Chains A and B, each alone.
Chain A
Amino acid sequence: MIVAGIDVGSLTTKVVILKDDKILSTSILSTGEEGAVIAQKAMDEALKKASLSFDQLENTVATGYGKKSVTFTDNTKSEMFCHAKGAHWLFPFARKVIDIGAESSKVIRLNERGDVEDFTGNDKCAAGTGIFLDTMAKAMEVPIEEVGELSLKHEKKASISNMCAVFAESEVVSHIHRGTPRNDILAGILESIADRIFGMSNRMGTQNDVVMTGGVAKNIGMVRALEEKLGVKIWVPENPQIVGALGAALIARNFVTV
């Protein structure tokens, strides 16, 4: 059986095509302005990679911030469910998922079947999200891909106390003017995000088997900062960005069989 999942995030749109228990192809595109158009493009790209046509898909499920804009399917599931399903499929022992995307971060508690038991998330501002990190990286004039590695080379973490992206940016700028070493500031920025996630994570209980998903999980410095805060090892999938779409595909599979 061939199914697909699509995750229309605020920054990127992801597609996963699944055949039985094998990922046939994936695609990741910038969401840009037109959600519906990009969704179609991302789907076409994934289909092309797998040498399939849309008709060959038995079912498709959409998730993510822009799931409503997807025109080729009416089936939707929340991001929480999709991340839980995707993470559970990759790491069946996972009991907690920390997902940090571009504009949202959430902590999900799941049971042994991968069902959501409870969840919490930021729903008010950019604090503790990818956009926050992106803004800070720009203020530091460091490419976002390098932030993680550089932060690991810090000597003493700088203190960034503001949660607000706008105020934190001016805090970062004053660190630069004061001559705080670059790597220390980067480590401080990651620490401030970790602080925010730590609070949310504790509200969901203190499970040890934690998986991190979402684009920010590609940042090794962020993962280390969170591990340090939580005091546990965090499992990161090979491609953390597609976990939501993968979960959507897994749910699409169930829609067919049930």
Chain B
Amino acid sequence: MEALNTLRDVVKNPKRIPEDWKAQGKKVVGYRCINVPEEIIYAAGMIPYPLFGTPKAVSLADSYFQPCVCEFIRNVFDLALEGELKFLDGLALCNTCDAVRKLYDMWNLYIKPSSCYIINNPQKLLYEANYKLYRKELERFKQAMEELSGNRISDESLQEAIDLYNENRALLKELYLLRKVENPPFSGEEALDIVMACMLMPKESCNQLLRQLLKEVKGREVYNDSGPRVLITGSIIDDPTLIRMVEEVGGLVVADDLCTTTKYFWHQVKREKDPLDAIYKYNNESCLCACMHPQEARFDYLMELIREFSVDGVIYFNLKYCHPFLYEAPLFQEKLEAEDIPTIFLETGHDLSGIGQLRTRVQAFIEMLG
């Protein structure tokens, strides 16, 4: 499993890739949320770096944020205050939740020197009236990336970036669909690592690895026993502990609906004459996050995953103080119950506080499904 090991090593040492990139004299732009068009950053000759947290407890950031603010954002800010993200030449955020929006303000105030851009993307999606404003905004973001990199982004280079990213999405989806079988070729924990590695890597070398991985996993069966098939949805998960716990007590995590997994690659950027139009449509025509409307579209997408992957039960995960998903949880649980799909709501801190106490509940849920 050479390709798999290589990918997993990338996640273990996430700073290695941006450091290599910088050694070649190129710039690195941090970003958060799936609505930031990475293709634009990439077409400018820079590498997008997804902001992930670490499972350590927040310390410095607690002097800047109230303790009831999203633990992921506080954790990221903590890393920035400690100088762990010094290699970033810029930061691109977008209009998703309040915590991400305020990270923009806090970053500009306290993390110096900084070049932070917040994309004013619309939150009411599948809505034609967005075009004028959002298209203009993407244009501005493109200009900002051109200024930061010192490189012009031509339509051709942007289209090339889109094609490259689309290939990455297609490969990841092909890999993910292998989990539909009774005994999937890789575990839920491995799946999270694979996607997180792809988010970190330059796409040329990443696609090569994915092609190799597709060959490697052929015929592989990862679970010793059959067990209930579980889907995890909810807030950001950038640490495998919870998924591992579900699998340790006999659940098969065969699908997930997270911004660090399926949401990253499920849909393709469709070809348009103008590549910015294509990016506009990609972001306007799918609604995958609890920050966005209409919620029905997100639920339909979740149901599609549940059916495709023959899911027996859904774990609704909420990161402490992640309000968009917290608001959505009871609505989704009610809808899933109406479809006769058992669900459980689990909440932990980003530092994994309280996860030990969750084990019994996770085990009981898996027993209930079995």
Contacts and interface: CB of A to CB of B under 8 A. Distances in A.
A119 B360 CA distance: 11
B364 interface: yes
A144 to B, nearest CB: 24
Contacts of B130: none
B361 interface: yes
B354 interface: yes
A121 B365 CA distance: 13
A207 B368 CA distance: 19
B310 interface: no
A132 interface: no
A65 B361 CA distance: 11
Contacts of A81: 364, 367
Interface in A114-143: 115-119, 121, 123-124
B148 to A, nearest CB: 43
Contacts of B363: 76-78
B357 A116 contact: no
10 contacts: A65-B360, A76-B363, A78-B360, A78-B363, A79-B360, A80-B361, A116-B367, A117-B368, A123-B354, A123-B358
A78 B367 contact: yes
Interface in B309-354: 354
Q: 6 closest pairs, A vs B, by CB? A: A78-B364, A80-B364, A78-B363, A123-B357, A116-B368, A78-B360
A116 B360 contact: no
Given A78-B367, A116-B367, A124 B360 contact: no
Contacts of B364: 78-81, 116, 119
Nearest to B368: A116
A9 B364 CA distance: 16
A115 B367 CA distance: 10
A121 to B, nearest CB: 7
Nearest to A79: B360
Contacts of A65: 360
Contacts of A119: 361, 364
A115 B361 CA distance: 15
A121 B346 CA distance: 11
A115 B354 CA distance: 27
A115 B368 CA distance: 8
B100 to A, nearest CB: 26
Contacts of B361: 78, 80, 119, 121, 123
Nearest to A103: B357
Nearest to B353: A124
B354 A124 contact: yes
Contacts of B368: 115-118
A124 B320 CA distance: 12
B225 to A, nearest CB: 13
B49 to A, nearest CB: 34
Given A80-B360, A123-B361, A124-B357, 5 more contacts: A65-B360, A80-B361, A81-B364, A104-B357, A104-B360
Contacts of B360: 65, 78-80, 104
A88 to B, nearest CB: 15
A104 B360 CA distance: 11
Nearest to A122: B357
A74 to B, nearest CB: 13
A188 B357 CA distance: 28
Interface in A58-114: 65, 76-81, 104
Interface in B42-91: none
Contacts of B367: 77-78, 80-81, 116
A121 B344 CA distance: 12
A79 B360 CA distance: 7
Q: Which of A79, A117, A119, A123: most chain B Cβ within 10 A?
A: A123
Contacts of A104: 357, 360
Contacts of B358: 123
A77 B367 CA distance: 8
B320 to A, nearest CB: 10
Interface in B284-326: none
B347 to A, nearest CB: 8
A121 B364 CA distance: 12
A193 B223 CA distance: 43
Contacts of A76: 363
A86 to B, nearest CB: 14
A206 B364 CA distance: 21
Interface string B204-248: 000000000000000000000000000000000000000000000
Contacts of A80: 360-361, 364, 367
Interface string B167-202: 000000000000000000000000000000000000
* Most chain B C-beta atoms within 10 Å of own C-beta, residue among A76, A80, A115, A117: A80
Contacts of A77: 363, 367
A78 B242 CA distance: 17
B87 to A, nearest CB: 37
Contacts of A117: 368
A65 B368 CA distance: 18
B361 to A, nearest CB: 6
B247 to A, nearest CB: 15
Contacts of A79: 360, 364
A85 B318 CA distance: 30
A124 B354 CA distance: 6
Nearest to A77: B367
A250 to B, nearest CB: 14
A115 B357 CA distance: 22
Contacts of B357: 104, 123-124
A115 B369 CA distance: 11
Nearest to A64: B360
A78 B251 CA distance: 14
A124 B363 CA distance: 17
